[in-house]
Structure 1
Amino acid sequence: MTRATMEHMPTSPYGAVLRLPGVARLFAVAFVARIPTAAAGVVLTLHVVQSLGKGYGQAGVVAGAMTIGMAIGAPWRGRLVDRLGLRRAIAPSVLVESAVWLMAPHLGYHALVGAAFVGGLFLVPVFSVTRQSLSVLVPPALQRSGFALDSVLVEITFMLAPVAGVLLATQGSTGLALTVVGCTTVAAGLLLMWANPPTRSRTPAIELPADLREPEHAAPRRVVTPELAVVLLAGLAASFILVGTDVSLVAALNDAGRAADVGWMIALWAGGSVVGGLLHGMGTRNRSPLLLVAVLALATVPAAFAPVPVWLAFAMVLAGLPCAPALASINARLVQLVPEARRGEVMGWGGTMSTVGNALGAPLCGWVIDQTGPSGGFLTAAAVGGTIAVGGLVVSRLVRSRADAVPGRELVSV
């Protein structure tokens, strides 16, 4: 076979993405840098319960404080990346995170709540920076595959990191586990600063003729449009479904006396997501993020009626298949809807909406489970998330219909 023949052979879109300059290194750095964030939640919970002798409710307060900090801090950190560049923006995060996590094993409960909030507020924005950099390194024709591969790697991270955190906490101590999380969090920030992936294109902006430039004192164009708002809501809905499914799965296995099966059930769920993400990235048709979230909601319903454990295992694989496609589609659409100079901030808002979805989904589905059982939790996750997605689809169609009805009219910013 000649070289010319080989060069014209069809290749996998993932191979094309990974051959792009800087992309393989970005994925490798992001995979390593995300591990401490993925392990932090379970390590904090075990530390509060085992070492501080508190209940799971009090552990939830610590996790909630960190979640609130993350929700507030994500857009702010993203805006700093847009304005100052990656290294200058995350240097304070590295300093603050090192102090928070290295002190955490030695703090009392109430001080730990405050430290968790500060840690969330200054969390190194690995997830949003990775996606922002992907939007720069990967051309639009391959971004579907790039974001799908990123979602698959995130799933693998969340399969491995919590297990490693639990092993450190149980085989060593929770103090040791917190210290390792702290050291690796700082190392992740330093690694990201060293790699310094691009968050802006290097292509210089085209100089517009004077008659086409905006007036110097004109108000800045608003970024948040109705379409962007519904995509952000899609992120909230997806997170609501996922956290509700997580809580309901644990409850179903506990009620059946099979708590030891939680680990491999979650692995099956994540495995379904990996398969779905890989298939999504190899496709050529771009589907609406809201439609994929609606499919995610629908795929969760069978778990409500599946007997434990065999049929529930099949149901969890089915529920996992649309996860990575929905998340990849949301992230890919976000970077398409905003100017490059504001992508960091908007990706931060995407992270905030996901955090809000988690914060709403866990207690609501948990309350329903207490009243009706695990099946009610699965159905609540599907119903609420699906309603948000379908509502977003309706709003999008109405806005588009109104814009089409008036020739030359643009979508009104909100």
Structure 2
Amino acid sequence: MRLEPYRHVFALPGVLRLLLVALLARVPVTAVGITLTLHVVLDLKRGYAAAGAVSALTTIGMALGGPILGRFVDRRGLRPVLLLTTVASMIFWAVAPELPYPMLLPVAFVGGALTLPVFSVVRQSLAALVPDEHRRAAYSIDSMSVEITFMVGPALAVVILTSTSATATMWGLGTAIALAGIGLYAFNPPTRSDEERAAGTPTERHRVLNPRLVTVLAAVAGSTFVLAGTDVGIVAVLRDSDQVSWTGVVIIAWCAASLVGGFVYGALPRPWSPFVIMALLGLLTMPGGLAGHWQWLCLLLVPAGLLCAPAMASSSDIISRMVPAPVRGEAMGWYSSALTTGSSLGAPAVGFVIDRFGSAWGFVLAGAGGAVVALLALLVTQRRPGAPAPTPAPQALAGVGAGAP
């Protein structure tokens, strides 16, 4: 395995600092969902359906706000957006614990729309700091970093909440997000390289959303549909076997496989087609429902887990190359919206199927849904001239058949 791609990435000016700042800034953002859910259930004495409504409105706000904030970054620069979203986050988390439930709903929507855009900003900045030939390794590192923050953030929020209160946790979370925004504002990572700023590529809106980009975004939403559905499926399978206490161990094993897969993908001599990776992610998720014990579930999820980080890294890489630099912020905003949309659809859809047909069918729906969307995207891009893919799809498929890692 070649480690040179990673050495080149870390040697680039500003990259290591960006990744470290991103790692710290993302931790509180990943804890937003679980904190709001537990606040509604514990403090407001509402059910999980009510908590789901707050999460849904927050998610919808994020999906709608992402492209708008990204376009604002393209036109006005990063710091005004960071200032706006940091102040908005401080206000939201300061007042949210005191709001009655009916008022929390619209405020959660606005708070979601003005969420600190740390994920899209980091991806946009990596595209500016890292040359094309090393960008796949950079996005692999970023995907592994995201995996770590999702392992740490929600768990840390639960620990703090159970030892203090939901209200105190919300105020602490707001402080942490504000500090993250201040840190990013002080760092002010570049969103375009010097060459890209000098090129002055046109910024018409039609250059952002086009059929090729929409196809990729649909596949991205399909991949996060798989991931969100797997989360629900894990709990359902373990509940059926009366092993819910092992949920954390299974999720850690799944995430650990993702870290390994992301590391291997970034070091490969040639990339795979992102659509092939996403299709395999879905297909390899489907057997998870066959597990009758937590150890078997860990083993059955390892093959799909190995493809989680590569799916995110490859999609980030391809989108960063598809649009001109002056509109990359909006494109990354749409990318974040696709990630959010897939996640928001995956959990309720899979939960619906599990309630009616059993836990095994939840994995079938999650995997099949993502695989079908990815395969359709692969077919569409093969037929469309100038289809976006790091390598031609036939080569990628041949690599899989030859036993490529």
TM over 0.5: yes
Gap regions ≥5 residues in structure 1: 1-9, 403-414
- Aligned pairs for 1:11-410 within 5 A: 12-203=4-195, 222-400=207-385
Cα–Cα, structure 1 residues 400 and 162, in superposed 2: closer, same or farther, change >3 Å? same
Name the amino acid aligned to 1:37.
Answer: V
Distance in 2, matches of 1:11 and 1:249, equals 34
- The SS at the match of 1:307 is coil
Name the amino acid aligned to 1:373.
Answer: G
Distance in 2, matches of 1:152 and 1:206, equals 32
Distance in 1, matches of 2:257 and 2:191, equals 31
Bigger Rg, structure 1 or 2: 1
Distance in 1, matches of 2:243 and 2:66, equals 37
Name the amino acid aligned to 1:341.
Answer: P
CA contact (8 A) 2:196 2:325 kept: no
* Residue 200 of structure 1, CA deviation: 1.2
Distance in 1, matches of 2:33 and 2:126, equals 26
CA contact (8 A) 1:252 1:374 kept: yes
- The SS at the match of 1:400 is coil
Name the amino acid aligned to 1:146.
Answer: A
CA contact (8 A) 1:78 1:345 kept: yes
Cα–Cα, structure 1 residues 108 and 392, in superposed 2: closer, same or farther, change >3 Å? same
CA contact (8 A) 1:226 1:396 kept: no
CA contact (8 A) 2:70 2:331 kept: yes
The count of aligned residue pairs is 387
- Identity among equivalent positions (%) equals 42
- The SS at the match of 2:384 is helix
* Residue 360 of structure 1, CA deviation: 1.5
Q: Deviations over 1:84-130 (max 9, x none)?
A: 11101221111111010011111111222222111111011100000
Name the amino acid aligned to 1:51.
Answer: D
Distance in 1, matches of 2:73 and 2:92, equals 22
* Residue 353 of structure 1, CA deviation: 1.1
Name the amino acid aligned to 1:83.
Answer: R
Residue 411 (structure 1) aligns with: none
Distance in 2, matches of 1:380 and 1:207, equals 46
Distance in 1, matches of 2:10 and 2:207, equals 34
- The SS at the match of 1:357 is helix
* Residue 12 of structure 1, CA deviation: 2.9
CA contact (8 A) 1:226 1:399 kept: no
* Residue 279 of structure 1, CA deviation: 0.3
Gap regions ≥5 residues in structure 2: 388-405
CA contact (8 A) 1:67 1:120 kept: yes
Distance in 2, matches of 1:366 and 1:389, equals 22
Distance in 2, matches of 1:369 and 1:207, equals 52
Q: Deviations over 1:249-297 (max 9, x none)?
A: 1111122222211112111111110000000000021211111100101
Cα–Cα, structure 1 residues 396 and 272, in superposed 2: closer, same or farther, change >3 Å? same
* Residue 310 of structure 1, CA deviation: 1.3
CA contact (8 A) 2:241 2:292 kept: no
* Residue 14 of structure 1, CA deviation: 1.2
- The SS at the match of 1:203 is helix
Cα–Cα, structure 1 residues 11 and 46, in superposed 2: closer, same or farther, change >3 Å? closer
